[in-house]
Structure 1
Amino acid sequence: MILRFGYVSRALSLWEASPSRTLTFTQWKKLDHESRKEKLYLATEKNLKSTLRALYYNIAHGIDVYRMSSSLVPLATHPEARWDYLTPFGHLFKEIGDVVRQFGLRVSFHPNQFTVFTSDKPHITENAISDMTYHYDMLEAMGLHKEGNINIHVGGVYGDKALAVSRFDENIVKLDETIRRQITLENDDKTYTALETLDICERHGFPIVFDYHHHWANPGQEEVEDLLPRIYDSWEGFHDRPKFHLSSPKSEKEYRSHAEDVDLTFALPFIKDLVAFGRDADIMIEAKSKDQATLKFVEELASLRHFRRLDGGMIEV
């Protein structure tokens, strides 16, 4: 079986390569029309070019799995500052998509924690729809709208989990069907367990992105090995193998926070469960050291018996 590993957003090994340069609304309001345009254009161009730099870095280091920054376009969804970012930067979006397809990479987005569909406040759902549309529009500009996933959490509980889930069921269908086809749902570390998230996924036909660290912090009653058949089944009919998230706790006290690297001892039970199941998987490393943590973890894993490193971010078991 093949395990591919990737990382989130920024390649720390590259100099000045943040894909998340921003312009706050407060800063934007202080500027005149031309200065606003100049600042927005400059930040967006740098973010897109940094994304390209990260992709080429990944290709050079054999890393096939990559999550793009959700902050590529500053103020893209702010109701007072929305602007046409697709027309002036269409060539860069297209170049990103061309590179992804040419080298067989797997990319995704993960909107922030405020993009939820469980709220009873209509404006929060409207904002979530706007944010999901923004992510989809970028994938479409890249030509990746049928393959790139947009991963979200179920959302909050608001004192009544059953009612919140029913609101999710009601609100998520307000999202355009073409966007819903690209959704994956992830279990979280406080509220919705993997089993609860799986139930929702199966009801809506969404694949689940299983987060091992979150499951460790918020496990429910199920063991990983018992969940894997349903996790893999949720990906049936989709073009990609299942994706998982992997990180380890920062400390005993801050056990929900991500550490700089992934502790092999912490991660090994999860890896062994995947190996016992015996099917290929993509694993997103969510460590603070990003690309460096990913390459380090793959190197450590490859030092174990039965694990052979095929590339920078790829292991054969």
Structure 2
Amino acid sequence: MKIRFGYVANAMGLWDASPSKTLTFARYSTLPKDERMEKLKSVTAQNLHHTKRILYYNIAHEIELYRFSSSLVPLATHPEVMWDFYTPFKNEWEELGKIVQQFKLRVSFHPNQFTLFTSPKEEVTMNAVKDMEYHYKMLRAMNALHTGLINIHIGGAYGDKSKSLDRFHQNLKQLPHEIKKHMTLENDDKTYNVPETLLVCEKEGIPMVLDYHHHMANKEEADLQLDLQRIFHTWNSTNVLPKVHISSPKSDQAFRSHADYVSLDFVLPFLKKAKELDQNFDIMIEAKQKNLAMQKLVEEIAAIRGVKRISSSSVEW
């Protein structure tokens, strides 16, 4: 079993490299009209430049798995802005894509919790489609659609989980097929647990991203060992390995919150279950200390008897 590890958005310790610099609509609105577009372009240029720095950092540290910030382009989906963020930065997007392809990086996006398809309100569904289109356009701009995926949650229950799931399947028809092909679904920590999410994925033909921390917060009586192989099977129609999200609780009182680092004791039971299946897969670390948490966990796993570290960010067990 080989496991590659990656992290989300910011490379800790890389000076002034945030790829998520923002421009609020309130601030945008106060600018003189002839300065608004320049400000949008200025912030986007910084985010794209910092993303390039982070990709090179990852390459230098043999990190092949990376999640882009969803905030690369400010106000990209705001109804009163919705500007062309591709044409002015065509070369920058293509340069990022060439780096991804040359070094065979696996990249993804994870839109926010408001990108959901269970709402009874049509405008929420339309906004979800718009946000998925935005992320799809960024992957397309980087020519990264061959492996790039967009991960979301199912959404809310709105007082009736069964009706909400029916609505999910109905509302998802609003999403263009070429975008749905790049979509994954993840179990969440409060509403839709592993078995519920897995059934939706199997019905829709969507790969499932297992979030182990969410599972531990919302597992009811689910037997992860029985579901894990089915979860991995949802990836069979793709050309990429299954992906799992790993984090650990900040504390017993703040169990759902992510800690700075990942507790090996917390995730080891999952790793042992996965080892029984002997399936190669990728792990995205969702800890507050980002790449530093990832490297620390890799070192701790590599110290386990029978585990061999095969690169800075991957092991073989």
Q: TM-score, with normalisation over the residues of structure 1?
A: 0.99
Q: How does 1:184-223 map to 2 (within 5 A)?
A: 184-223=184-223
Residue identity opposite 1:71 in structure 2: S
Q: How does 1:125-140 map to 2 (within 5 A)?
A: 125-140=125-140
* Cα pair 1:244 1:282 within 8 Å, conserved: yes
Q: Which residue of 2 aligns with 1:37?
A: 37
Residue identity opposite 2:82 in structure 1: R
Q: Which residue of 1 aligns with 2:180?
A: 180
SS in structure 2 of the partner of residue 4 of structure 1 = strand
Residue identity opposite 2:193 in structure 1: T
Give, in whole Å, the separation in 2 of the partners of 1:32 and 1:146: 41
Give, in whole Å, the separation in 1 of the partners of 2:306 and 2:265: 16
Task: Determine if the alignment matches structure 1 residue 142 to structure 2 residue 142.
Answer: yes
Q: Which residue of 2 aligns with 1:264?
A: 264
Task: Determine if the alignment matches structure 1 residue 72 to structure 2 residue 78.
Answer: no
Residue identity opposite 2:42 in structure 1: L
Task: Please identify, of 251-260 and 37-46, the stretch whose mean Cα deviation from structure 2 is larger.
Answer: 37-46
* Cα pair 1:13 1:291 within 8 Å, conserved: no
Q: Deviations over 1:170-199 (max 9, x none)?
A: 011111000000000000000000110000
* Cα pair 1:308 1:316 within 8 Å, conserved: yes
SS in structure 2 of the partner of residue 173 of structure 1 = helix
Q: Which residue of 2 aligns with 1:245?
A: 245
Task: Determine if the alignment matches structure 1 residue 299 to structure 2 residue 299.
Answer: yes
Residue identity opposite 1:314 in structure 2: S
Q: How does 1:146-165 map to 2 (within 5 A)?
A: 146-165=146-165
Q: Deviations over 1:148-185 (max 9, x none)?
A: 10000000000000000011000111110000000000
SS in structure 2 of the partner of residue 292 of structure 1 = helix
1:53 offset after TM fit, Å? 0.9
1:224 offset after TM fit, Å? 1.9
Give, in whole Å, the separation in 2 of the partners of 1:188 and 1:24: 28
Q: Which residue of 1 aligns with 2:50?
A: 50
Q: Which residue of 1 aligns with 2:100?
A: 100
Q: Which residue of 2 aligns with 1:26?
A: 26
**Aligned residues with identical type, % of pairs:** 52
Residue identity opposite 1:54 in structure 2: I
Q: Deviations over 1:117-172 (max 9, x none)?
A: 00000110110010000000000111112321000000000000000001100011
Q: How many residues align?
A: 317
Residue identity opposite 1:220 in structure 2: E
Residue identity opposite 1:39 in structure 2: K
Q: TM-score, with normalisation over the residues of structure 2?
A: 0.99
Give the unaligned 5+ runs of structure 2.
none
* Cα pair 1:5 1:282 within 8 Å, conserved: yes
Give, in whole Å, the separation in 2 of the partners of 1:11 and 1:173: 37
Residue identity opposite 1:110 in structure 2: H
Runs of 4+ in 1 over 6 A off after TM superposition: none
Residue identity opposite 1:270 in structure 2: F
1:97 offset after TM fit, Å? 1.0
Give the unaligned 5+ runs of structure 1.
none
Residue identity opposite 1:168 in structure 2: F
